Structure 1
Amino acid sequence: MTKIRRRLVSTAAIAAAVTLTACSSGGATGTGDVSFGTEVSGTLNAWGFENADDVGTSRLEYAADRFEGLEIEIDQTAFDAQKFTTRVAGGTVPDVVQMDRRFVATYASQGLIVPLDECFSSHDVDPTSAYYEAVLADVTYEDAVWGVPQFYQPPAIIVNNRVLDAAGVSPEEIDTSKPDVLLGAIEKMYQEEGGNPSVLGFDPVASGQASLWVLGAGGQLIADGEPTLDDPANEAGLELLKRITDAQGGYAKVKSFTDSFDTFGENNQFVADQVGAQVDAQWFVNVLSPYVDAVDISAVPFRGPDGEPFAVAGGQAFVIPAGAKNPDAACAWALELTSQEAWEAAGSARAATLEETPGAINAGLFTASPAADQSIREEYVGDSGDAGFDQTISTYYDAVANGVTFGASPAGQQIETELNNAVQSVLLGDKTPEDALADAQAAAMRAYEQADG
């Protein structure tokens, strides 16, 4: 018996899911009696781990060692919604699939994946204590848990101290809860040449962090599974984004400038002093660490209207499709891959990789598990010798505790897409925030009604 120890869509795809559901058990509530055994054997077919790095391969190796009698076959390609529904229709569904958490409620509502509450309980795992609350909420729909969460990449604001110092700006002025103070700091730092930006005071990464700006300003995107994009409270985040981009030449010029950044290279925006501050997910600290001698950074949290740190949870999860041939192995494997022991193996592998890179800084791993994060931090994240990097890393660790869920909805991916469309139309001046959000809501509701049957 295996006991796992824890210390711790496109519209076409939705339409395909609706068609398939006509022959299924009838939606989320129809699969609530799924049970899982703990005897693991046979063959496990998995789909995930595209371009796995040392963190991924070390966890795969750990799990493989735990299940010596299990033959594991993995399709290591990127998740594709249409491919998934096609596989379900053809009866060739894998036993376990790795996907973005935005998809989970979509497939749960259609009965295309099974609830995992019994999976957790059969292996003595309490998800409410094993995962961050916001992360667990991402995969909770109609009072059931439908996914095994993996990573949690919190956002924060990385500050370029050289640009701030040159403009006489303090990090405390990079405060999203005080728009007038923030705009004043941006105007001091912003520079242009020939009518185009040459230094951005603040890159809000509007196209990639739209939900952060809307939810962080007091908005709401989903309520009880339904989209709420036209909630008037959502307008504040869009209005602030427009003020930020208008103060720096307008969205078109800002986007053109940021697209030119050597983001992953030796002349990235912090080396080249092209930004004073930028919203970034935690993984970007790892991108900057090889250039520690060429940058001068620190970080401040993204702050909500109350001035408190704020983050939005996001990441991937493992799900088990309805019709999986080996659900017992799928459950055990997914839990083993996300156990504290697996994450500690990943932490060790990452530390070994960094030891081979002169000057590299260990920024830790940010998982869905607070216990694993703390264990890896205590073991591998210490004094790097660069106070700015250490403070930046600490800011991200503080951020994970302040996360909120994007929300779980059968139209989760479509809601995110329509939100991004609304942001772009507002920033380009094509629509007012009210009109843009109303149009986004109409499109998201169509997707919701279709997905929810």
Structure 2
Amino acid sequence: MYSKKKGLLAATAAASVFALTACGGGGAGGGEGVSFSDSPSGSLTAWGFDNADEVGTSRLDYAEEQLSDIDIDIDQTAFDAQKFTTRVASGNVPDVVQMDRQFVGTYAAQGLIEPLDECFAAHGVDPDEQYYESVMDDVDWDDKVWAVPQFYQPPAIMLNKRVMDAAGVTNEDIDTSKPDVLLDAVSKMYAESGGNPSVLGFDSVGVNQAGLWMLGYGGELMDDDGVPTLDDPKNAEAINYLKLLFDAQGGYAKYKSFTDSFDTFGDNNPYVADQVGAQVNAQWYVNVLTPYVDQVEIEAVPFRDMEGEPFTVASGTAFVIPAGAKNADAACAWAINLTSQDAWMAAGQARAQTISDTPGAINTGLFTGSPAADEAIRAEFVTESGNAGFDQTISTFYEVVGEGESYGASPAGQEIQTELKNAVTSALLGDKSTEEALADAQEAAMRAYDSATEGQ
């Protein structure tokens, strides 16, 4: 086990996508007899927190101060889906676990986690007031709330102005609501060497961000009840356009080989090396580029839906309480305190101190899942950096965060994500038509949905 002052997932880390292992039946609702109060005590075990930085440790310190009657042990190892389901089945579970929000609905439907409506009520928190609507939609299922959200990483389009200027492309040309304009801009910026890509005009991140494109085109991955809808015709429109983008840049296979070689987090990253003209990125990637402020020329524009409106999707982690937790009361209080306004302000202060101690560092803000916390941190700690491009990029992410939409919560969340990626990859490679690939994915996702909801 790990000390209670260490182990929380860093705000600047990319949100991990966990491939959950399906678990049979059980039904929604978790265990019976769970109660929550505003004065918990005893011991608490937590799991799934890794890569701690000052944003995490400052919040852990704050929660420790507020919960002096609780003895907290944190297992710093990363969350593992198969291990989680095995532990719940055996009854050997931690009291609180951090996981990706996209899969909360799956565990809720399987009866592996507890509903938390009474947890929020015990601490006087209205989750619909505290968190972005899109963030809450990630953890709402069957008219209950199943997790305490933390972090929100909205994607937008980060621009490489050197590549764009050399090709005569403007910010207005990088507009996802104008497919023909964007495709023309991509063709102007794209370059090859020896028949292989050397500069991508636009990296759509088409497989990992397929859901963003589908929802932006007016499609959906599931309906309001969590029933899979992967074969929605609007989804096919989005994937067909993505294929046009890839085909204009050497095809998906060559694109994949090229991007796999990127030094994404290093000194020769795609913006330093001028390997992209524009790229879909989550907000955390701005942090990756701050050490290279003198070597890159960046700006950003929103992803836009087909109506031309700024659009993004919610992603991030959350705390859940497993069914069978021995001290759900303490787990609830701990999660609530870690995501409180005061905890986030402590994190903002800690991040600001780190920035001030690092010559040339830029404060890009924190994106917490709570609009009030985001606004307060920005107002107090995010100042002009002296680099107009970075300042404009930071502002763009703040502008789009309120425009987010949730993928939704579903008992088949695991299968929807897995089959979506398989279908998009197959369509982009030309192994199947888009419609055929999505139809096959829908069939597999429905089997998972029917199995998860059987008897409910």
TM-score by structure 1 length? 0.94
2:21 aligned residue (13, 27, 31): 13
Q: Residues of 1 paired with 2:182 and 2:413: CA distance?
A: 31
| Cα drift, residue 134 of structure 1 | 0.3
Say if 1:138 and 1:408, in contact at 8 Å, map to a contact too: yes
Q: Distance in 2 between matches of 1:30 and 1:278?
A: 41
Say whether 1:102 aligns with 2:110.
no
Is 1:198 aligned to 2:198, yes or no?
Answer: yes
Which secondary structure state, in structure 2, belongs to the residue aligned with residue 227 of structure 1?
Answer: coil
Q: For 2:440, give the aligned amino acid.
A: D
1:356 positional shift: 2.1
1:82 maps to 82
| Partner of residue 6, structure 1 | none
2:207 maps to which residue?
207
Identity across aligned pairs (percent)? 68
Partner of 1:154: 154
The question of whether the paired residues in 1 share the 8 Å contact of 2:30 and 2:323 is answered with no
**Conserved in 2, the CA contact under 8 Å of 1:10 and 1:414?**
no
The superposition leaves residues 385-413 of structure 1 with CA deviations (integer Å, 9 ceiling, x where unpaired) of: 00100000000001111000011001112
Contact 2:177 2:304 in 1 (8 A): yes
Q: Which runs of 5+ in 1 are unaligned?
A: 1-8, 22-26
Partner letter of residue 315 of structure 1?
G
Partner of 2:381: 380
Cα shift readout 1:296-335 (whole Å, capped 9, x = no counterpart): 1100000000000111101111111121111111110000
Do residues 118 (structure 1) and 118 (structure 2) align? yes
Name the CA shift for 1:308/1:33 in 2 (closer, same or farther; >3 Å): farther
Moved more, 332-341 or 314-323: 314-323
Match of 1:235 in 2: 236
Matches of 2:323 and 2:127, distance apart in 1: 21
Query: How many pairs align?
Result: 437
Tell me, in whole angstroms, the C-alpha distance in 1 between the residues paired with 2:73 and 2:144. 28
Letter of the structure 1 residue corresponding to residue 237 of structure 2? A
Letter in 2 for 1:399: V
Residue ranges of structure 2 left out of the alignment (5+ in a row): 1-16
Task: State the shift of 1:452 in Å.
Answer: 2.1
**SS, match of residue 268 in structure 2:** coil
Residue in 2 that maps onto 1:309: 310
Deviation at 1:12, TM superposition (A): 8.0
What CA RMSD, in Å, does the superposition of the two structures yield over aligned residues? 1.5
1:271-317 CA distances to partner (integer Å, 9 max, x unpaired)?
11111000000000000011000001100000000000111101111
Residue pair 1:271, 1:295 contacting (<8 A) in 2 also: yes
Residue of structure 1 in register with 2:281 after alignment: 280
AA aligned to 2:178 is: K
- Does residue 417 (structure 1) correspond to residue 418 (structure 2)? The answer is yes
In 2: Cα distance, 1:249 partner to 1:137 partner = 38
1 CA distance for matches of 2:349 and 2:49?
19
| CA shift digits 1:367-388 (9 cap, x unpaired) | 1100000011011111100010
- Find the residue that maps to 1:298 and give its secondary structure: strand
Please state how far the C-alpha of 1:450 moved relative to its aligned partner.
1.9
Contact map agreement 2:313 2:404 (CA 8 A) in 1: yes
Matching of residues 23-62 of structure 1 within 5 Å: 27-28=27-28, 34-62=34-62
8 A contact 2:151–2:316 mirrored in 1: yes
Q: Which amino acid aligns with 2:195?
A: G
Aligned equivalents of 2:132, 2:233: Cα separation in 1: 29
1:134-145 correspondence to structure 2 within 5 Å: 134-145=134-145
Deviations 1:111-168 (A, max 9, x none): 2111111111111100011000000000000111010000100000000111111001
